[in-house]
Amino acid sequence: MMKRSILGFLFALWSSIAAAQGCGPANPNCIVPTAPPGTNNNQAASTAFVTNATGSISGVTITGTAAAGNVPVATSSSAGVWESFSLGIDASIGSTRGSVLERGAASWGIITPGTSGLPWISNGAGADPAYQAITNVGHAAMTQNAVKGAASSTAVADLSIPSCSTTASALQWTTNTGFSCRTGLPSWAAFTPTPTCGTATITTNSARFSTSNKTTAFQLDFTITAIGTCTTTVSFTAPNTANSSGSAIMAETTVNAVMGVCNFSSGSATVGCSKNALANFVVNEHHIVSGVYENQ
């Protein structure tokens, strides 16, 4: 009984001395409660608290500086190092340049760069985006040989384009209608001029014309093979009736190279041609006439 009383006294005395001394070099074996994670005050921190906060994560010892923004990166099954967030992603997910960080069905992952020129396309909720070609969206498939447009309203529709492959035809747009082929475009054709001058014999070598709306262009090539009573004026019939007065140029190419002029009168299809200075025509002269005039 006496022995137990003495032991109890000594234990109480040792406890009171330890409590008086506090924790420190003089009392390294003092016991400090381990505070909950995240505690931030001036209470004493146990070695367990310090290890959990700065040196160990799930049994892995972390080295380096736990600076703001750094994350722990495992280097083995029992060790790691504090690294920047960017280096942490490189080590844990991937470091390929041009990659995209994407949340898949189960975890975050890296999508490496796709084919050059392909856009990054969303595939909607519950699906992963991907690099892919843009398909024909927003309207139905187009009709072959057509363009999108609005001929008579604001509604966009397929406007058929005809081939217009025949001679003297072209594609034409008409408001409220669309595209069509315009035919009868200007093309050159023969006409019968029948040049005359007194009793001269005149051979027509060629006579061609082209009319577009109210404009006619023509060319006449003739030779005087017998002069007869011909003097200063050669007349011929135009391809159609002139709507206004006009003139054309005449040039001799074989005998004397003399120039001349041909005159039109409004409302007439007869054309009169004379040489410079009203000189007489002579046999074997070869004349070429060309001009443009307003037709009716």
pLDDT tens string, the chain, 296 residues long: the values are 554 555 555 455 445 544 445 666 667 677 778 888 667 787 777 777 766 665 555 567 778 777 777 777 777 777 888 878 787 788 777 888 988 888 889 888 888 898 898 998 898 999 999 999 887 666 667 778 888 888 777 778 888 888 888 777 888 888 888 888 887 677 899 999 999 999 999 999 999 999 988 999 999 999 999 999 999 999 999 999 999 999 999 999 999 999 999 999 999 999 999 999 999 999 999 999 999 999 99
Q: Is the sign of the CA dihedral 182, 188, 191, 196 positive or negative?
A: positive
Q: In the structure encoding, which two tokens stand for residue 58, read together?
A: 């799930």
What is the per-residue pLDDT for 268? 97
Give CA–CA dist 250/247, Å, rounded.
10
194 backbone φψ class: left, alpha, beta (φ>0; ψ -120 to 50): left
Is 30 a member of any domain?
no
- Write down which residue in 78, 105, 132 finishes a domain: 105
Report helix, strand or coil for 65: coil
* 108 in Cβ contact with 89 (< 8 Å): no
Is 162 a member of any domain?
no
Is 289 a member of any domain?
yes
Number of domain units in the chain: 2
Q: Which positions ≥6 away from 147 have C-beta within 8 Å?
A: 158, 159, 161
Is 155 a member of any domain?
no
Query: CA 88, 35, 73: angle at the middle one, nearest 5?
Result: 10
228 HSE (CA, 13 A, CB side): 14
Give CA–CA dist 200/219, Å, rounded.
21
Give CA–CA dist 258/275, Å, rounded.
7
**Cα 58 from chain centroid (whole Å):** 55
Strand ranges, E, within the chain: 56-57, 60-63, 71-74, 79-83, 100-103, 108-111, 120-121, 130-131, 146-149, 157-160, 170-174, 178-182, 189-190, 201-212, 215-226, 234-237, 246-252, 259-264, 270-275, 286-294
Same domain, 195 and 290: yes
What is the per-residue pLDDT for 10? 47
* 159 in Cβ contact with 143 (< 8 Å): no
Query: CA 142, 144, 147: angle at the middle one, nearest 5?
Result: 60
In 164-173, which positions are buried (b, 16+ CB within 10 angstroms) versus exposed (e)? eeeeebeeee
Max Cα-Cα span within the chain: 178
Domain with 265 in it: what CATH number? Answer: 2.60.40
Q: Which domain holds residue 217?
A: 189-294
* 176 in Cβ contact with 155 (< 8 Å): no
What is the per-residue pLDDT for 59? 62
Same domain, 197 and 290: yes
Is 133 a member of any domain?
no
- Write down which residue in 53, 84, 105 finishes a domain: 105
Is 38 a member of any domain?
no
198 backbone φψ class: left, alpha, beta (φ>0; ψ -120 to 50): left
Give CA–CA dist 60/58, Å, rounded.
6
Same domain, 196 and 288: yes
Is 85 a member of any domain?
yes
What is the per-residue pLDDT for 138? 60
Give CA–CA dist 58/76, Å, rounded.
13
Is 252 a member of any domain?
yes
- Write down which residue in 105, 126, 158 finishes a domain: 105
* 257 in Cβ contact with 285 (< 8 Å): no
Could you give the C-alpha distances from 127 to 122, 130, 182, 193, in angstroms and in order? 8, 9, 53, 80
